[in-house]
């Protein structure tokens, strides 16, 4: 963040900006990364309870069949899936595999393909968790 | 010295951990999805198998490194400068606790 030395009002409405697909994927990569760190902490608390109290294993397992547990599992799973896919795309672009750096058109196409795979995987994941 | 100041070290660790985790997650999903976790004994048995815990232990270490570099970048990019140090201390302390807790739980599991 740039330091400001004046008191002029600043108006930045993020809803008025139109970001290109690469920028949207990049910011979502960061948001899902933060969600994954939070999921890691929650998962660790659950694992702590399971390992230190083996006699309550059955009760601890039931957490994941409760709607709130299923919601957290869905959020964590979707975040991991998106972060993994966009991270892989980023690494492929960095090494120009498939010529992804050579043209804007290919970069856009790879972004759309990634989102398509993400939606398919997310539907499968939600099916597995909720149904 | 430039290596330490340019962010190249953080970038290198971020890439190394990203490559490892890219392959680790599909491996762990495949490994765990074919196992039964009906009882604590089964849960413990599957987790302490060498073919699982060795790559998992490396993955968890690299996951902490990956989280630190990522969260550090986010804090430096979006937090006002006066909150940078407290923010980094909170995130660093939290990840240190995660590392210590993981080692403690791993030791409890193999007991």
Give the CATH number for residue A38.
Answer: 1.20.1300.10
Whether A7 is covered by a domain: the verdict is: no
Who contacts B91 (Cβ-Cβ below 8 Å, separation ≥6)? B68, B71, B72, B75
- Which chain A residues touch B18 with a CB distance below 8 Å? 87, 91
Q: State the smallest CA–CA distance between residue B1 and chain A in angstroms.
A: 25
For B34-60, the pLDDT digits (tens) are 899 999 999 999 999 999 999 999 999
For A30-85, the pLDDT digits (tens) are 999 999 999 999 999 999 999 999 999 999 999 999 999 999 999 999 999 999 99
Count: domains in chain A: 1
Give the pLDDT of residue A3: 65
For B23-33, the pLDDT digits (tens) are 999 999 999 99
Q: Is the pLDDT of residue A8 over 90?
A: no
pTM: 0.89
Count: domains in chain B: 1
Instruction: Give ipTM to 2 decimals.
Output: 0.90
Provide the CATH number for the domain around residue B99.
1.20.1300.10
**Closest CA relative to residue A92, chosen from A100, A84, A104:** A100
- Which chain B residues touch A33 with a CB distance below 8 Å? 67, 70-71, 74
Q: Which of A1, A30, A37 is facing B67, going by the closest CB pair? A: A37
Whether A89 is covered by a domain: the verdict is: yes
- Which chain B residues touch A1 with a CB distance below 8 Å? 77-81
Q: Do A33 and B70 touch (CB under 8 A)?
A: yes
Q: Give the domain range for residue B106.
A: 2-110
Q: Which of A37, A44, A57 is facing B71, going by the closest CB pair? A: A37
Q: Give the domain range for residue A123.
A: 23-130
Q: Is the pLDDT of residue B70 over 90?
A: yes
Whether A78 is covered by a domain: the verdict is: yes
Q: Is the pLDDT of residue A19 over 90?
A: no
């Amino acid at each position: 963040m740039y330091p400001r030395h004046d008191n002029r009002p600043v108006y930045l409405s993020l809803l008025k900006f139109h970001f290109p697909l690469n920028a949207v994927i990049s910011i979502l990569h960061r948001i899902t990364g933060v969600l994954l760190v939070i999921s890691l902490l929650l998962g660790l608390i659950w694992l702590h309870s399971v390992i230190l109290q083996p006699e309550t294993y059955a009760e601890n397992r039931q957490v994941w069949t409760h709607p709130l547990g299923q919601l957290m599992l869905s959020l964590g799973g979707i975040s991991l899936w998106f972060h993994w896919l966009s991270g892989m795309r980023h690494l492929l672009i960095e090494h120009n595999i498939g010529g992804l750096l050579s043209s804007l058109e290919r970069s856009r196409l790879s972004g759309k393909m990634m989102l398509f795979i993400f939606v398919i995987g997310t539907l499968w994941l939600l099916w597995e968790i909720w149904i | 010295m430039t290596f330490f100041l340019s962010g190249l070290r953080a970038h290198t660790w971020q890439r190394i951990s990203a490559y490892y985790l890219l392959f680790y997650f599909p491996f762990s999903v495949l490994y765990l999805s074919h196992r039964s976790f009906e009882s604590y004994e089964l849960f413990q048995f599957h987790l302490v198998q060498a073919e699982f815990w060795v790559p998992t232990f490396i993955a968890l270490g690299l996951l902490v490194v990956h989280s630190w570099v990522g969260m550090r970048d986010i804090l430096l990019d979006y937090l006002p400068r006066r909150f940078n140090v407290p923010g980094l201390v909170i995130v660093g302390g939290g990840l240190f606790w995660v590392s210590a807790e993981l080692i403690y739980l791993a030791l409890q599991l193999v007991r």
